[in-house]
Amino acid sequence: MPEISSSKPYRIGRSKTGLGLFATKKIKKGDKIIRYFGPMLDSKNKKHDDIDNKYLFEINNRWTIDGSVRKNIARYINHACRPNAESDVSSRKRKVVIRAIKTIEPGEEINYDYGTDYFKIFLKPIGCKCDHCEKKRAKKRAEARAEKLRLKLKAEKKAAKKAEKQAAKDARKTKKPVSKVAASKAAKRNTLSGVKANAHARGTGKPTKTKAARTKPLGRVQPKGASRAKRAS
């Protein structure tokens, strides 16, 4: 790791993505922080055109800075979608300076936007880890958890309602209500029995004649002895 003078307002430190550059002093908005430098690569040079690494900083269509050299401490500055610094590019001088676009407090990580092309090639496939993107992902995860919980509660409520309906249905089945035909027959039987009972109860009060009483006598029968006595006299 390259040594940094104590007079410089930054230091190399551990970041979310590995190493990063952090402010050691208060850096005011508009202040120059550090220069991004390295060998100049000419796109017209076949050998230069074949060089490829993560620290290439394109100045224009022809010139590109190869910032992979150890002395280029600016290469430790990480990307951020909501940065506190920016790259000030001078095409004529072929020079790049990193400046603060807001006040950076001691201990804060210095970052700038790497640009759309770099983001698509290197960051998008693995996911940007800057604070802004981390907060967005955390918010999406929280929303997903809330939606999952909502659906779970909805399903439980639906299942409970279904179980309640089924329990009520089962309870009605155990009572076995009488059908209309069976009810009609039972009512008819009750009516007939009621008529018989009432007819007996509404009698005249006279004793009911037996079969023997209803039979008319054929005449008075006298004992045989009496008849003979009468004829003898």
* pLDDT tens per residue, range 109-140: 999 999 888 888 888 888 888 888 888 888 88
Question: Does 120 lie in the same domain as 28?
Answer: yes
Question: Does 23 lie in the same domain as 97?
Answer: yes
Distance CA 125, CA 117 (A): 12
Question: Does 145 lie in the same domain as 46?
Answer: no
Q: Is the pTM of this model over 0.75?
A: no
Whether 34 is in a domain gets the answer yes
Sheet architecture: strand order including 18-23: 10-15, 18-23, 109-112, 78-79
pLDDT at 205 over 60: no
Please give the pLDDT value at position 232: 47
Question: Does 104 lie in the same domain as 70?
Answer: yes
CATH number for the domain spanning 65: value is 2.170.270.10
Whether 51 is in a domain gets the answer yes
Question: Does 106 lie in the same domain as 63?
Answer: yes
Question: Does 162 lie in the same domain as 86?
Answer: no
Question: Does 107 lie in the same domain as 57?
Answer: yes
- The chain-wide mean pLDDT, for the chain, equals 82
Give me 123's structure tokens. Answer: 């960051």
Question: Does 112 lie in the same domain as 139?
Answer: no
Name 65's bridge partners. Answer: 40, 57
CB 35, CB 50: distance < 8 Å: no
Whether 225 is in a domain gets the answer no
Please give the pLDDT value at position 233: 42
Whether 140 is in a domain gets the answer yes
Residue 75 lies in domain = 10-127
Q: What mean pLDDT do residues 91-113 have?
A: 95
- Report how many domains make up the chain: 2
pLDDT in tens, 30-88: 999 999 999 999 988 888 888 888 899 999 999 999 999 999 999 999 999 999 999 99
Whether 47 is in a domain gets the answer yes
Whether 224 is in a domain gets the answer no
